[in-house]
Amino acid sequence: MTAEKFIAELFGTAILVLLGDGVVAGVTLAKSGTRGLPIIQFAWAVAVFCGVVIAGPISGAHLNPAVTLANAMSGAIGWDAVPGYVAAQMLGAFIGACLVAVHWWDHLKATEEPATKLGVFSTGPTIPNVPLNLVSEIIGTFVLVFVIMAFGHNGDASGLAALGALPVTLLILAIGCSLGGTTGYAINPARDLGPRIAHAILPLPGKGGSNWAYSWIPVAGPLIGGALAALTYGAFFTNLAVKVIPH
């Protein structure tokens, strides 16, 4: 067996078991946020599908500063493009959260628990543990970016390119089911920070605090995970296929 084949089998099997055993843990372990939330996981996956369909042909549909960072590290985009991508992602997430607030205003007013209202806009851990919460976000985002890079490198050869946004949709669904029960799988700094800012500045009825003490984890964790994925894929896989990461 060649070293390339060994590495491919190693990483492929590791992620297979991570996601496969992860969903079992999420469904069966105490205090997991996975149980009873299939509609949220499914809807988030479809939400990503819609974003990719809209932005994909024009910008490459990063939709996530961690993905943008990985693309810059891999050379798929120039570093000069990163600020524009991140600014658009943050502003878009903020606008989306504001629209949610307007649409659900009466229901936010009718909801008594401030934590439930915050949970509409941003993520939080089911069991607060700073090191492990950070690791959870790193692992989830590593899987996201690593597999997206595999899609980009191997899409034409494997036929994935013909499926458009569907592979990423299924990936988000798998991450949500398998790894999302610990921290709510932000796996995207813009997805969490933009709506958290909206929660903080909008006059939401009975909203409570925005949990800024936790807010750095869904920013730092995904950026670390995305960077590690780019470094790892670049170290082991870039010579195995043609680079066609969309940008």
Residue 90: count of CB within 10 angstroms of its CB: 17
In this structure, what CATH number is given to the domain that contains residue 117?
Answer: 1.20.1080.10
Residue 151's domain spans which residues? Answer: 41-236
Decide if 34 is inside a domain. Answer: no
What is the band of 133 on the pLDDT scale with cuts at 50, 70, 90? very high
Is the model's pLDDT at 232 over the cut of 80?
yes
pLDDT tens for residues 169-216? 999 999 998 899 999 999 999 999 999 999 999 999 999 999 999 999
Decide if 8 is inside a domain. Answer: no
Decide if 29 is inside a domain. Answer: no
What gap in Å lies between CA 78 and CA 63, rounded to an integer? 17
pLDDT for 162? 54
Q: What is the mean pLDDT of residues 130-138?
A: 98
pLDDT tens for residues 68-86? 999 999 999 999 999 989 9
Decide if 28 is inside a domain. Answer: no
Average pLDDT, the chain: 84
What gap in Å lies between CA 52 and CA 166, rounded to an integer? 9
Q: Of 46-50, 52-56, 202-206, which one has max mean pLDDT? A: 202-206
Domain count, the chain: 1
Is the model's pLDDT at 144 over the cut of 90?
yes
Decide if 244 is inside a domain. Answer: no
Decide if 114 is inside a domain. Answer: yes
Spatial neighbors of 20 by CB under 8 A, at least 6 apart, are 178
What is the band of 158 on the pLDDT scale with cuts at 50, 70, 90? low
Lowest average pLDDT, out of 80-94, 118-132, 159-173, goes to 159-173
Decide if 107 is inside a domain. Answer: yes
Tracing tokens 């933009």 back to the chain, one arrives at 194
Decide if 139 is inside a domain. Answer: yes
For residues 72 and 81, the answer to whether their CB atoms sit within 8 Å is yes
Higher pLDDT, 141 or 27: 141
